[in-house]
Amino acid sequence: MNAPKSYLHFDGSQSYIEIPDSSDFSLTTTGSLTVSAWIRPEVLIFPTAEKGFVHWMGKGEAGKQEWVFRMYSQDNNVGRDNRISFYVFNPEGGEGIGSYYQDPNNPVQAGVWLHAVGAADTERTYIYINGAPIDTDVYAGQIQPQHGTAPLRIGTRDLKSFFEGEIREVRIWNRKLADEEVAALFASVSVPQDGLVGEYLLTQDVAPDTAEAHNGVIYGANWIPQGN
């Protein structure tokens, strides 16, 4: 594993990246989607207006929800200490359905890099942590995702909660990656090019898309150069 050495720092308060809406980032365009990122939370307990969790990346706003990565606070009151989840939603939102990682024997740690991959196809959601498949859940028949016009955001979803820590190497594919592709991605062996529709390496103080030119704008997040 080669953990990233330069990245963007998000301060947990109004810092994020915003990328304009594109059907490339929607599950319904091809019927499957994979989202990958390296994250390093700085804190495990955080203030939030969203029921004990922060949304650290996603596509969705009121009336046009699609998908999200979230992390629960260590002090939440529903037994989901630092759970990392990948959810899909009906456009009107609600609880959603998704897959999660929560291991009391190997918990998420502050200051430690973690590779998270969330995926969905026409029936299921999936989550991978550090290259390994962790959980899969059926949403078909309960959730009917649709393409909305909300932007993709990194560091938040809908500006109601904000991630505090570092993020790098965000990638999106318009297909479900195979288990072996996720493992190779985590190990820095290869980056699958087939279906890659968004790539934000976040190794500089701008957010260009090196895959399909869906360029993003950085608000408040600071670039930390390699070696720092």
pLDDT tens-digit readout, 166-194: 999 999 999 999 999 999 999 998 999 99
Q: By residue range, what is the domain housing residue 55?
A: 7-224
| Number of independent structural domains in the chain | 1
Using a 10 angstrom Cβ sphere, with 0-12 exposed, 13-18 middle and 19 or more buried, the burial of residue 9 is buried
Domain contains 19: yes
Q: Please, how many CA atoms are within 13 Å of residue 219, restricted to the half-sphere of its CB?
A: 15
CB 149 within 8 Å of CB 166? no
pLDDT of residue 1: 46
Q: Is 174 helix (H, G, I), strand (E, B) or coil?
A: coil
Domain contains 130: yes
Domain contains 1: no
Comparing C-alpha atoms, which of 110, 116, 45, 52 is closest to residue 84?
116
Tokens found for residue 185? 């991605």
Tokens found for residue 115? 């590779």
Which residues are registered as beta bridge partners of 154? Answer: 17, 57
Domain contains 173: yes
CB 161 within 8 Å of CB 153? no
Percent of the chain with pLDDT over 70: 94
Domain contains 215: yes
Domain contains 179: yes
In terms of residues, how long is the chain? 228
Comparing C-alpha atoms, which of 86, 67, 74 is closest to residue 145?
67
CATH at residue 47: 2.60.120.200
Between CA 56 and CA 47 the distance in angstroms is 13
H or E element that contains 36: strand 33-41
pLDDT per residue, tens digit, the chain (228 aa), is 455 468 999 999 999 999 999 999 999 999 999 999 999 999 999 876 666 899 999 999 999 999 999 999 998 888 899 999 999 999 998 889 999 999 999 999 999 999 999 999 999 999 999 999 999 999 999 999 999 999 999 999 999 999 999 999 999 999 999 999 999 999 998 999 999 999 999 877 778 777 778 999 999 999 888 755
pLDDT of residue 5: 65
Domain contains 189: yes
